Chains A and B, each alone.
Chain A
């Protein structure tokens, strides 16, 4: 540690907490991102009566090499990283994907004019993982 102190850091930290935070919470790592759409954008509002807005969210970011418990990833994810780095780089690295979802209730008009209320499974991403 003394040596580190001796060397001047590349970017002198204005405040230490910000500086150390980038190691605790690495940037661009896999996380949930907000995304909100309205059915009128998809021209579906003629037959989807409710909800007016829909927030499916999405997952994006890098997966760390040693995934560990933060993402609840199975051990296989680390094995896949090892395969990618050591054995065959054509095998893709683990991806940042949704791990948990929430349902969505949709009220629609059917072609015959009847109306249906239905609760659909897995329509809103609530959590991301690497696998």
Chain B
């Protein structure tokens, strides 16, 4: 649009229009970008293709895309329904900060057992995530390891897992095996419900890596799962062979580029000419929106009313 022409970003970070190298030449000069810019937005290159003279290009010629795991698709469709209306408009009552969520499935894994290390069955999974798609203008708010498991454990039983998470560093120059840079150990207790997803917040653990624009993250996860809940003094017993599908990595991001929807801008705009009473709660809201607090405040307001 006219008002953005002056703002088109032409520096190293992917900007307003990103076109794959091969099509850039065919596009008219106004839309062409300097070489070396990476593909940034899934939506824009095809918009450009449709608009370019060769819009009639046959889409079949586009390189086939890797198909994501159906489980991952199911999770993201659920997230979509929670975040947007049927017409596809971001839900106004959602106070979350993120305007982008990316789900990565590990691109390689190797599974091996350590029989005598810990009590119970120890599973070890090697994970390598390639984060190339994250652009320079997408800032990390939260990262989660997303576990789904198919287990023969009956529903609504409690499981306690001891997990050990390692970050592996590759020193390509010395061709030595990857070394472990830092690790974290934690225990996880959860009830097996109908929807078998477990989210493990690893934001602080991955923050230093992602902040340094690391695009390949190599992790290893060891976990042992037992039935029972130590806090309720139930004895941990009969280790279960939980066949955990290797976790996906979920990144909640705030995209600061012009194309992305900036919820706060529209809120500020609305504040200038409020059409309905202001929200009482403060604006400091965590990236996921504070559902619990909202509810209690909602309740208090209704009680007061």
Residues of A within 8 A of B (CB): 42-44, 46-51, 53-55, 102-121, 124
Nearest Cβ on chain B to A83's Cβ, whole angstroms? 18
B239 on the A face (CB < 8 A): no
Nearest Cβ on chain B to A59's Cβ, whole angstroms? 13
**A117 and B79 contact, CB distance less than 8 A:** yes
Residue of B43, B63, B132 touching A106 (CB-CB under 8 A): B43
**B89 and A112 contact, CB distance less than 8 A:** no
> How far is A115 from B89 in the complex, measured between Cα atoms in Å?
18
> How far is A113 from B42 in the complex, measured between Cα atoms in Å?
12
B88 on the A face (CB < 8 A): yes
**A116 and B261 contact, CB distance less than 8 A:** no
Nearest Cβ on chain A to B286's Cβ, whole angstroms? 18
Nearest Cβ on chain A to B161's Cβ, whole angstroms? 26
User: A119 and B133 in contact (CB under 8 A), knowing A49-B73, A111-B63?
Assistant: no
**B46 and A42 contact, CB distance less than 8 A:** yes
**A43 and B59 contact, CB distance less than 8 A:** yes
> How far is A44 from B266 in the complex, measured between Cα atoms in Å?
29
**A110 and B261 contact, CB distance less than 8 A:** no
Q: Which residues of B (106-132) have their CB < 8 Å from a CB of A? A: 130, 132
Chain B residues contacting A44 (CB-CB under 8 Å) are 46
Q: Which of A44, A103, A114, A117 has the most CB of B within 10 A?
A: A114
Q: Which residues of B (55-98) have their CB < 8 Å from a CB of A? A: 59, 63, 65-68, 72-73, 76-77, 79-80, 83-84, 86-90
> How far is A114 from B107 in the complex, measured between Cα atoms in Å?
10
Residue of A43, A111, A117 touching B83 (CB-CB under 8 A): A117
**A103 and B100 contact, CB distance less than 8 A:** no
Nearest Cβ on chain B to A88's Cβ, whole angstroms? 20
Chain A residues contacting B99 (CB-CB under 8 Å) are 118-119
> How far is A42 from B58 in the complex, measured between Cα atoms in Å?
11
**B133 and A103 contact, CB distance less than 8 A:** no
B229 on the A face (CB < 8 A): no
**A116 and B89 contact, CB distance less than 8 A:** no
User: A109 and B90 in contact (CB under 8 A), knowing A117-B83, A119-B99, A121-B260?
Assistant: no
Chain A residues contacting B66 (CB-CB under 8 Å) are 111-113
**B88 and A54 contact, CB distance less than 8 A:** yes
User: A119 and B261 in contact (CB under 8 A), knowing A107-B80, A109-B65?
Assistant: yes
Interface of A is mostly: strand
**B261 and A121 contact, CB distance less than 8 A:** yes
B262 on the A face (CB < 8 A): yes
**B46 and A51 contact, CB distance less than 8 A:** no
**A108 and B84 contact, CB distance less than 8 A:** no
**B255 and A105 contact, CB distance less than 8 A:** no
User: A113 and B67 in contact (CB under 8 A), knowing A42-B46, A44-B46?
Assistant: yes
**A118 and B84 contact, CB distance less than 8 A:** no
**B261 and A113 contact, CB distance less than 8 A:** no
Chain B residues contacting A48 (CB-CB under 8 Å) are 42-43
Offer 24 A-B interface pairs, CB within 8 angstroms, sorted by A: A48-B43, A49-B73, A49-B77, A50-B77, A53-B88, A105-B80, A105-B83, A105-B90, A109-B67, A112-B130, A113-B67, A114-B104, A114-B133, A115-B68, A115-B72, A115-B73, A116-B42, A116-B101, A117-B76, A118-B41, A119-B84, A119-B100, A120-B43, A120-B259
User: A115 and B102 in contact (CB under 8 A), knowing A43-B59, A46-B65, A106-B43?
Assistant: yes
Nearest Cβ on chain B to A75's Cβ, whole angstroms? 18
Residue of A46, A104, A107, A108 touching B89 (CB-CB under 8 A): A104
Q: Which of B43, B46, B90 has the most CB of A within 10 A?
A: B43
User: A50 and B42 in contact (CB under 8 A), knowing A112-B133, A117-B80, A117-B101?
Assistant: no
B50 on the A face (CB < 8 A): yes
